[in-house]
A and B are shown apart, each in its own frame.
Chain A
Amino acid sequence: EDKVVQSPLSLVVHEGDTVTLNCSYEVTNFRSLLWYKQEKKAPTFLFMLTSSGIEKKSGRLSSILDKKELFSILNITATQTGDSAIYLCAVKLSGAGSYQLTFGKGTKLSVIP
């Protein structure tokens, strides 16, 4: 059974802190890993990672994939209260399931002033 595990499940930090969110996976036919941010409504796309060792960066957020050890991390530096959200990790498979995403349970990040 395909599995995506995120840790921690929840995290409380102060503004200005740096956080690292973890996502590990056990799937057959891995194609890519995606990160989403979910505030009050729909998840919004952050990154898609396909190759090992190549960092994707957008402002204070960055992410990297390790296909040998089957995990990804999402880093947020100099956190702000607007970063408070649920961060979702999802894995896309190749082959017949190539459109489907298998999601982890999410990490709820709370940034306090």
Chain B
Amino acid sequence: NAGVTQTPKFQVLKTGQSMTLQCAQDMNHEYMSWYRQDPGMGLRLIHYSVGAGITDQGEVPNGYNVSRSTTEDFPLRLLSAAPSQTSVYFCASSPVGGGEQYFGPGTRLTVT
């Protein structure tokens, strides 16, 4: 099992550009989520999904969209990047019964 994978590892965007951060898991987990991590702020939840076709907002959803068409994939879209979205983004998944969340390796995004 590859676990949780994320692409790209690094990305630089200009203000106003759009892009999609990819996340995939091969553990058949129902729950998937996106976090951002900023210095001194811990991990903050952006969006999450409890199954294909079901998504909801977390603590800091503004500026981000998600969709969940399959169990495996949970992409995060930035429609118009802003410098405030410079951060490290982590995707995570867990089985339907809860328990620990497994994290992907992260994407470091810089918006200039």
* 5 A-B pairs closest in CB distance: A42-B103, A105-B42, A103-B42, A103-B43, A99-B31
The verdict on A67 contacting chain B, using a C-beta distance below 8 Å, is no
Binds A, one of B44-52, B62-70, B75-83: B44-52
B53 within 8 A of partner (CB): no
Tell me if A100 and B33 are in contact (CB < 8 A): yes
Per-residue interface assignment for chain B, residues 83 to 105, with 1 indicating a CB less than 8 Å from any chain A CB and 0 otherwise? 00000001000100011111111
The answer to whether B106 touches A88, judged by C-beta atoms less than 8 angstroms apart, is no
* Given known contacts A99-B94, A100-B45, A100-B48, A45 and B100 CB-to-CB distance under 8 angstroms: yes
Contacts A98-B98, A99-B31; is A106 near B42 (CB within 8 Å)?
A: yes
CB distance from B63 to the nearest CB of A (A): 20
Complex alpha-carbon distance, A44 and B100, angstroms? 10
Write the residues of chain B forming the contact surface with A, with a CB cutoff of 8 angstroms: 31, 33, 35, 40-45, 48, 50, 58, 90, 94, 98-106
Query: A105-B40, A105-B42 in contact; A41/B98 too (CB < 8 A)?
Result: no
Minimum Cβ distance to chain A for residue B25 (Å): 13
A-B interface pairs (CB < 8 A), number: 49
Q: Given that A99-B31, A100-B33 are contacting pairs, would A43 and B43 also be in contact in the complex, using a CB cutoff of 8 Å?
A: yes
Name B30's closest neighbour in chain A (CB-CB).
A99
Shortest Cβ gap from B95 to chain A (Å): 10
Residue numbers in B under 8 Å from A99 (CB-CB)? 31, 33, 48, 50, 94, 98
Cβ A48 vs Cβ B99 within 8 A: yes
Q: Is the CB of A88 within 8 A of B43?
A: yes
Q: Please name all residues of chain A whose beta carbon is closer than 8 Å to the beta carbon of B42 when the two chains form the complex.
A: 88, 103-106
In contact, B101 and A103 (Cβ under 8 angstroms) = no
CA distance in complex: A98, B44 (Å) = 16
CB distance from B89 to the nearest CB of A (A): 11
Contact B48 A105 (CB under 8 A): no
**Complex CA distance for A102 and B105, rounded to whole angstroms:** 19
| B31 contacts across to A, CB distance below 8 A | 99
Instruction: Give the complex CA separation of A101 and B56 in angstroms.
Output: 14
Kindly list chain A residues whose C-beta atoms are within 8 Å of the C-beta of B48: 99-100
Min CB distance, A46 to chain B, in Å?
9
